[in-house]
Structure 1
Amino acid sequence: MDAVEHGERTGPGAGSWAYIGSFTSGGGRGITVAAVDADSGALIPRTSVGAVENPSCLALAAGTGVLYAVGDTERGVVAALRPSGGGLTALGPAVEAGGSGPTHLCVAGRRLLTANYASGSVSSLAVGPDGALSGPPVVLAHQGSGPDAERQAGPHAHQVLPDPGGRWVLGVDLGSDAVRVLALDQTSGALRVHTETALRAGSGPRHLAFHPDGEVVYVLHELEPQMTVCRWDPAGGLLEPLTEVVIDADGVPEGVRLRPSVVHVSPDGRFVRAAVRGSDTILTFSLADGAEKPQLTSVVDCGGSWPRDLVTDAGGRRLYVSNEWSGDVTWFDLDPRTGEPRRAGAVEIPAAACVVFS
C-alpha cells in the first residue's frame, strides 16, 4: 500500500494526529493523515493513503492504537492500519465485512463490528492481539421495513456501537425505525437481539450518542428531522424513549428537506449538538436543565455544504465538521460558557466524511 503525498505543509506546534476519511467515489483521497496544530487546532495534511475505496467511517482502537476503516462499497470490506511516523501501514489485506455498504464500525472488546447499510445487517470480525483482523465474519441480519417506500423498503443498519459499560451493543436501523440492543459473544462473535426499541414510523433513526452519565441516549433521525431522548438501563439492556425534540432551521428554501446526519455530546456532558444537511447548520442544545431536557441555544452555519460528521477534540475546546459536498473540514472554537461554535478555519478535503484523533 503506497502513500501519496498531497501538498504537505508545515505548521507550528503540532500536538497530535488526525485521520480524515473521504469518499473516493466523490473525488476523495482515501484516508488523509494530518498534523494538529496545538495552538490553533488547524489540521495540516501530511499524507493520503488509498487503503480501501470510500473509507467513510474510521475508528481508533484504544488499546492497540490501530486505525480501522470501512470500505463503503457494494462488496463491503474493512481495513486495519497501524499509525506510524505520520503515516499508515496496513496490517494485511482488507477483510470482507460480510455485508454490503458498511457505513459505521466500532471496536467492542475482541471484536470489530460493522453496520452494513445496503444489506441491512451487523457483522462481527475477530481482532488479533496486534489489532489485525481475521474472518470469516459472523453476520446478524436485521428484519423489518418502514412507510417510506424509497428509503425503508427493508432494513438499513446505519450505526453500531457498544454501550459505555461494554456489556451491550446498540444497532441503529434507519430502514425499520428501530434501535436494537444486541448481546455479543466475544469468543464466537455471534450477535443476538436482546431487546428492540421501536421509534416513530418513518422517522429513519440514523445515529445515536450516549451522555457521559451513561443513563441518557440521544437518537437522531434522518427522514423526519427530530431527536429522541431516551433513558438507558444498562442492567437490563433496555432503551426507553422519553421525549422528541424537533430539529428545525429558519430560512431554508421551500422544497429543501432537512437531513440530520450525526449527534454528538460534549465530553463534559453540558451540550449536545446535531449536524443538519439541507440547512447546512450545526445546532447546539444546552443540558443545563438536565441531560433529559435539551434546550436549543444556537444555530450556526456549518462552514460548507452537507455536513456528514462532527467531532470535538479530546479537550472539548474545538468542533470539527466534515462537509462532504463542499469538500472541506471546518473547525470551530467553542465558547466555554455557552458552547456556541465560532468558525476558526478550514482545510480542503475532497468528499470529506469523518475525522478521528489520536
Structure 2
Amino acid sequence: MRFQHVAAAGLTTSAVAVNLFVSSYSGIVTSLQLAPSAQGPGIGGYVLTTTASNNESGPQPSWLTKDPYNNVIYCVDEAFSTPNGTMTAYTTSKSGTLSLIDTQATVVGPVSTVIYNEGKALAAAHYSGSAATSWNILPSGGLKSLQTFMFNLTAPGTIPSRQEAPHPHEVILDPTGSFIVIPDLGADLVRVFAINPKTSLLTESTPFKVPAGSGPRHGAFLKADSGKTFFFLISELANTIASYEVSYLGATGLNFTNVFLSGTYGNRTTPDGAAAAEAILSPDNKFLLTSSRNATLFQLDNFDKTNSTKIPSDTLHSWAIDHAMGKLSLKQIAPAGGSFPRQFSVNKAGDMVAVGLQMDGRVVVIERNVADGTFGDFVASMDVAGQVTSVIWDE
C-alpha cells in the first residue's frame, strides 16, 4: 500500500542536504546524506547517498548518541562474541566523515547511552552485561570510566527465557537533569539514579516495580504544559504503553503513579509475536511515537521500482498526549518501511523520521505531518550492510 501524500508545512530538509549516521551489526557506522533528488521525484523527491563508512567501533555497534553540546558522536559496541563492549567517540564533519577521538573497553552488551550533567558525563545501559556504567567526558570528547553498577536477580522472572537476568535496556534523563532512569527488561524494574551535579556521580535510589512479565524496554519523560511531569514507558514482553505521573522525592528519588495503560495497538488485538520497541517524543512534545517489530500488518510496493516483490512491513504508531492528565490517544498505525523497526529518530523540525529496519538492513525516511502527528509518504530509502541498530540525524 502507499499512503496519500501529506504536505507538511516548511520541510526544512527539502532545501539543504542533511547527514545521518547509521550503526549496524556489520561492524560499520555508515554516513548517509539526505538531499533533494536531482533526477526527479524518485520515491518522494529525495535521495539517500552513502558518503562515508567507519569500522572502528567494534564488531556489533548497537547505539549512536550525538552530544548536544558539541560535534561528538558516541557509539557503543554490543560485542556478542568478545569479553568486553566498547565505547567509541568521534568528531563529525560536514562531509559526514567521522574521525576517531577515543575508544574505551567497557562491560559487555551496551545498548543505549545518554549525555547528562550538562555535557560533563555519559551513562550507558548494558543489556547482556546486566549493568549500567557512567563516564566522565573529557575536554577532547574522549571518555574516562567513572562508575559501574552490576545488577542481579535472585530468581528468574515471569518469562524465564527473557528474564533469566537483569537486562537494562535504555538510559533516560529526566526533564530537570537531576535523575537518570533505566528500564530493566529482565528485572521488571525502572531503576532510578540521582545525579550529583558537582561530581557527575550517580546514586542508586529505590527502583519502581512494573507488573510482572512486562519487560520494560524504552521510555520518555515529558514536562507537560500543565506543569506536571509524566513518564511514558513501552514494555516489550507485555506489548504495553503506560503513562505515569512523576513526583520528586527531594533530590534522592522519584515516585511513579500510573495514569494510563494500553496495548501498543490500542483497541486492536496485539498480533502474535509482536515485540514493542522504541518510544520517543515528537520535538513539539505533542505526540509520543512508538514502534513494534515482528508484526507485518502492511505489504508495501518495493522501493526499487524495477522490482515487483512486495515488502512486508512492521509498524510505527503515533499517540496524541493529553498534557493535563498524561493519557494517550492512538492517532495512527503506519507502515515502518520493512522488518524490525528497532530504533528511529525524528529531525529537529519534526517533519521527517529516519527508521532503522534491523532485519531488512535498510534505512527509510518518512515524511511526518507536524500538525496532526501522523506519518506520511516514504521519501527516501537506502540499503545498509548488516542488521541496522540505530540511525540519528546530524543537526
- Note the C-alpha offset of 1:203: 0.6
Structure 1: distance between partners of 2:331 and 2:94: 41
Contact kept, 8 Å, 2:115 with 2:121, in 1: the verdict is yes
Residue 163 of structure 1: aligned partner:
174
Contact kept, 8 Å, 1:19 with 1:33, in 2: the verdict is yes
AA aligned to 2:343 is D
Residue 217 of structure 1: aligned partner:
231
Q: Relative contact order, CA 8 A, sep 6+: which one is greater?
A: 2
**1:174 matched to 2:185:** yes
User: Structure 1 residues 232, 37: CA separation in 2 closer, same or farther (over 3 Å shift)?
Assistant: farther
Out of 330, 333, 341, the residue aligned to residue 307 of structure 1 is: 341
User: Structure 1 residues 291, 348: CA separation in 2 closer, same or farther (over 3 Å shift)?
Assistant: farther
**1:106 matched to 2:104:** no
1:179 aligned counterpart, secondary structure: strand
- Note the C-alpha offset of 1:63: 1.4
Out of 33, 36, 40, the residue aligned to residue 34 of structure 2 is: 36
Residue 278 of structure 2: aligned partner:
262
The gaps in structure 2 that reach 5 residues or longer are: 1-12, 38-44, 296-313
The gaps in structure 1 that reach 5 residues or longer are: 1-10
Residue 248 of structure 1: aligned partner:
265
Structure 2: distance between partners of 1:196 and 1:95: 29
Residue 19 of structure 1: aligned partner:
21
AA aligned to 1:104 is S
Contact kept, 8 Å, 2:259 with 2:327, in 1: the verdict is no
Contact kept, 8 Å, 2:216 with 2:233, in 1: the verdict is yes
Contact kept, 8 Å, 1:54 with 1:71, in 2: the verdict is yes
User: Structure 1 residues 341, 154: CA separation in 2 closer, same or farther (over 3 Å shift)?
Assistant: same
User: Structure 1 residues 312, 172: CA separation in 2 closer, same or farther (over 3 Å shift)?
Assistant: same
- Note the C-alpha offset of 1:45: 1.8
Out of 303, 319, 323, the residue aligned to residue 357 of structure 2 is: 323
Structure 1: distance between partners of 2:350 and 2:74: 23
**1:77 matched to 2:113:** no
**1:140 matched to 2:149:** yes
Contact kept, 8 Å, 1:210 with 1:217, in 2: the verdict is yes
1:196-235 alignment runs, 5 A limit: 196-213=207-224, 215-234=229-248
- Note the C-alpha offset of 1:225: 0.5
Q: Deviations over 1:11-60 (max 9, x none)?
A: 99543321111112xxxx61111223279564332011112122210111
User: Structure 1 residues 274, 51: CA separation in 2 closer, same or farther (over 3 Å shift)?
Assistant: same
Higher mean alpha-carbon deviation, 42-51 vs 192-201, is at 42-51
Contact kept, 8 Å, 1:229 with 1:245, in 2: the verdict is no
Out of 107, 126, 143, the residue aligned to residue 116 of structure 1 is: 126
Structure 2: distance between partners of 1:217 and 1:288: 13
Out of 389, 392, 395, the residue aligned to residue 353 of structure 1 is: 389
- Note the C-alpha offset of 1:251: 8.7
Structure 2: distance between partners of 1:65 and 1:13: 22
Matched length: 339
- Note the C-alpha offset of 1:172: 1.2
Structure 2: distance between partners of 1:239 and 1:146: 23
Q: Under a length normalisation based on structure 1, what TM-score does the superposition of the two structures give? A: 0.87
Structure 2: distance between partners of 1:44 and 1:239: 46
AA aligned to 1:301 is P
- Note the C-alpha offset of 1:187: 5.9
Structure 1: distance between partners of 2:323 and 2:199: 44
Contact kept, 8 Å, 1:177 with 1:199, in 2: the verdict is yes
Structure 1: distance between partners of 2:269 and 2:166: 33
Contact kept, 8 Å, 2:356 with 2:388, in 1: the verdict is yes
AA aligned to 1:158 is H
**1:195 matched to 2:206:** yes
- Note the C-alpha offset of 1:300: 1.2
Contact kept, 8 Å, 2:345 with 2:393, in 1: the verdict is no
Residue 62 of structure 1: aligned partner:
68
Higher mean alpha-carbon deviation, 144-153 vs 65-74, is at 144-153
- Note the C-alpha offset of 1:186: 5.5
Structure 2: distance between partners of 1:283 and 1:211: 18
Flag the structure with larger Rg. Answer: 2
